[in-house]
């Protein structure tokens, strides 16, 4: 009995050791990228697929990454016609009194929305940020309400904004995941990347020089933005986006100890993403029929359409593993309406479904009827004569 007990204990110990080794190996594989920040995420902009995660939903301060949302709402106001890039914005006493990063706005001074966006995007100017907030929302307080409403609409469930600048304030928190969501929202505005992708620019007719706080823009090809942030509570943070070989990635890093570590982590994530993944453009199967049979219609078949949209993200080198197939519904009966789904085209890699697209009718087909047959016979007779 004692021997059996000892053997059981040893056996359990072996299982535990085996499991521990497996867990350790998996953890090491996850941390192969070598990200030092406590929280990070990387996503593909087109597919929104997450390629790397490290505590992505941990609620943390994010300093001036907050201004990504400020810019989002400003572009929304431009799109709606409330503002345009040349709209003059006078500096209020509140905007002029802002501390921290600024462009030394003076009460009563007027700058355009274009210049203020440059100042926010490049040097993270708090005074310019408040000026935009007041132009869009009327007051800082109402603008912050708009920020939280927008965050909720984007699914940023980890986020609560207390100000528009990112100043340290109890309860002003977000997550790496949420930052990636609002970064993607800002990147929908191509004009935004025109601001965030430049290293050096000027306002006030060249009198004020703006140098991008994101040094990745200067030192690395393909970097198109997006925003840095640093504070006592948040540490060093960045949302970095880049485009290479038709792929656009967003890397978010929160809570690094230094600015250099922040840039190093972001660059490491982007390099990992571009080297490990590739975009795959779906092509229709060669044997996909141009028509499918139907019953009870004025025609025996109907022309079909299928339009795969977008691209898939797959592991680099696995392009040859992607397969495509199609299926058509059985016993399709008339009437058939244009756009009606008649089947599917499916793309898979192994057992993983990458995408499924509808096979639809390209035309209307009426149900067979006596009058229709008579008209068709008349047309045939006319053609023969």
User: Looking at the annotation, which residues are catalytic?
Assistant: 64, 67, 124
A 10 A CB-CB count for 75 gives 19
C-alpha to C-alpha distance for 152 and 384, rounded to whole angstroms: 67
C-alpha to C-alpha distance for 230 and 237, rounded to whole angstroms: 6
Angle between helices 126-137 and 140-153 (to 10 degrees): 80
C-alpha to C-alpha distance for 260 and 159, rounded to whole angstroms: 26
Do the beta carbons of residue 249 and residue 229 sit within 8 Å? no
Closest to 282 measured CA to CA, from 338, 227, 345: 345
Strands 88-90 and 291-293: unpaired
A 10 A CB-CB count for 188 gives 11
Helix, strand or coil, per DSSP, at residue 112: strand
């Amino acid at each position: 009995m004692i021997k059996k007990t000892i053997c059981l204990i040893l056996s359990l110990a072996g299982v535990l050791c085996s499991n521990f080794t497996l867990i350790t190996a998996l953890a090491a594989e996850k941390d192969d990228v070598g990200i030092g920040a406590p929280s990070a995420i990387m996503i593909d902009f087109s597919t929104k697929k997450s390629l790397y995660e490290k505590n992505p939903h941990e609620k943390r301060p994010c300093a001036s990454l907050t201004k990504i949302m400020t810019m989002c709402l400003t572009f929304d106001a431009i799109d709606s016609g409330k503002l345009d890039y040349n709209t003059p914005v006078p500096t209020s006493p509140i905007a002029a009194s802002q501390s921290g990063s600024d462009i030394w706005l003076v009460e009563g001074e007027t700058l355009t929305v274009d210049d203020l966006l440059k100042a926010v995007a490049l040097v993270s100017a708090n005074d310019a940020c408040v000026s935009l907030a007041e132009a869009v929302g009327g007051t800082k307080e109402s603008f912050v309400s708009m920020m939280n409403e927008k965050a909720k609409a984007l699914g940023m469930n980890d986020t609560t904004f207390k100000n528009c600048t990112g100043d340290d304030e109890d309860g002003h928190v977000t997550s790496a995941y949420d930052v990636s969501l609002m970064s993607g929202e800002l990147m929908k505005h191509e004009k935004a990347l025109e601001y965030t992708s430049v290293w050096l620019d000027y306002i006030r007719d060249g009198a004020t020089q703006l140098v991008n706080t994101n040094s990745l823009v200067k030192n690395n090809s393909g970097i198109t933005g997006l925003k840095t942030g640093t504070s006592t509570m948040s540490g060093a943070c960045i949302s970095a986006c880049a485009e290479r070989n038709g792929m656009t990635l967003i890397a978010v890093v929160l809570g690094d100890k230094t600015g250099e570590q922040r840039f190093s982590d972001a660059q490491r994530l982007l390099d990992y993403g571009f080297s490990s993944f590739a975009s795959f453009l779906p092509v229709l199967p060669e044997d996909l029929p141009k028509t499918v049979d139907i019953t009870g219609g004025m025609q025996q078949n109907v022309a079909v359409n299928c339009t795969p949209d977008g691209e898939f993200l797959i592991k680099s080198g696995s392009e040859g593993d992607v397969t495509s197939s199609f299926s058509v519904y059985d016993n399709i009966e008339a009437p058939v309406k244009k756009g009606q789904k008649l089947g599917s085209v499916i793309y898979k890699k192994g057992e993983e479904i990458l995408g499924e697209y509808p096979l639809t009718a390209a035309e209307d087909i009426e149900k067979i009827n006596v009058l229709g047959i008579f008209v068709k016979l008349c047309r045939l007779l006319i053609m023969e004569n």
